[in-house]
Amino acid sequence: MSSPQQQQLPPERSIFGVDPLDDFATMVGDWIFANSQGRSNVEIEGKIGQIIDQETGERIQLPVRNETVVDLSRTRFDSRMTISQHAQYNRILNSLVSRSGESSYTGAKVSYQRRKEIDYFHPAPGGKVRVTRDADTLAIKPDGIIQKQRIADLNIHCPNRLFDYRISINTEAPADKPTSDHVSIREKNRLSYTHQNFIVDLTQVTVADKPQEPIHELEIEIRDVAPLMQAASQARAKTNSNGSAASAQEWTPFDDQVLIFLNNIRMLIRRNGSAPDERR
């Protein structure tokens, strides 16, 4: 029988007094660290979409009931959404900007910027070079000449939601201005919403051969990857120096940033209330 003093204590997180680390977040964090460490000009982004079975052309169906990392052959990730879904996200994100601008709001601000740009792709050794120009002036944007290299992708299936998502790690290395002619063009009408170390890009993409069929996409990018990787290195150095199971279960700033990144993606998926049959 417990004493009155014991009965008045608030519930503890577990018999050990702490929460266990989130297995999903730590797995994603380990994957990010393994594929990003030692690299420069790293880009980490999450895209909302659906994982499509290439044989049926339909979204995959698996015997799982919650968010699951999948590694399946004969599938592709489709990041397209409908105009109505795009418009709904526009309203949702605009409302966050408005709320954070109120005098009574005490949280971190959400700001936005509209950018109209044209990407020109030029052939080059090691992959195409992308030159991004202002759509109105055709001036090359600052840091607008890069060579992008895909490093790794992680596909996550969300069976109870309209959308799945993909986390991608790429490098975007600065490149010299190409001397060759471009081989393709992509026009982008983009709204960028910035909140702390994250940017949500809501984009309409038009390609030259299908000008009447714009593609609508949403992605969230980590603004500055360097501090994230520094936090990851510090967390691993601390665990290695202590060498104990307890230290391996300590929540670190790196784990926290990875979880915030995941939660931003999850919340964006959950805030879109479109029915599944509106997907296409």
- Examine residue 120 and state whether it is found in any structural domain, yes or no: no
pLDDT attached to residue 237: 85
pLDDT attached to residue 279: 42
- Is residue 12 predicted with pLDDT exceeding 70? yes
- Is residue 1 predicted with pLDDT exceeding 80? no
- Examine residue 81 and state whether it is found in any structural domain, yes or no: yes
- Examine residue 143 and state whether it is found in any structural domain, yes or no: no
pTM of the predicted model as reported, rounded to 2 decimal places:
0.90
Q: What is the 3-state secondary structure (H, E, C) of the chain?
A: CCCHHHHCCCCCCCCCCCCCCCHHHHHHHHHHHHHHCCCCCEEEEEEEEEEEECCCCCECCCCCCCCEEECCCCEEEECCECHHHHHHHHHHHHHHHHHHCCCCCCCCCEEEEEEEEEEEEECCCCCCEEEEEECCCCCEEEEEEEEEEEEEEEEEECCCCCCEEEEEEEEEEECCCCCCCCCEEEEEEEEEEEECCEEEEEEEEEECCCCCCCEEEEEEEECCHHHHHHHHHHHHHHHHHHCCHHHHCCCCHHHHHHHHHHHHHHHHHHHCCCCHHHCC
Mean pLDDT of the chain: 91
pLDDT attached to residue 242: 58
To the nearest whole percent, how much of the chain has pLDDT over 90?
A: 80
- Examine residue 237 and state whether it is found in any structural domain, yes or no: yes
Low-confidence winner among 15-29, 97-111, 175-189 (lowest mean pLDDT): 15-29
CATH code for the domain in which residue 224 is found: 3.20.100.10
- Examine residue 208 and state whether it is found in any structural domain, yes or no: no
- Examine residue 174 and state whether it is found in any structural domain, yes or no: no
pLDDT, tens digit (0-9, with 9 covering 90-100), for 76-91: 999 999 999 999 999 9
pLDDT attached to residue 245: 45
pLDDT, tens digit (0-9, with 9 covering 90-100), for 247-275: 556 889 999 999 999 999 999 999 986 54
Total domain count for the chain? 1
- Examine residue 148 and state whether it is found in any structural domain, yes or no: no
* Section 143-163 average pLDDT: 97
- Examine residue 250 and state whether it is found in any structural domain, yes or no: yes
- Is residue 4 predicted with pLDDT exceeding 90? no
Domain that holds residue 107: 22-114+153-165+192-203+213-272
Residue 32 confidence class, pLDDT cut points 50, 70, 90: very high
- Is residue 154 predicted with pLDDT exceeding 60? yes
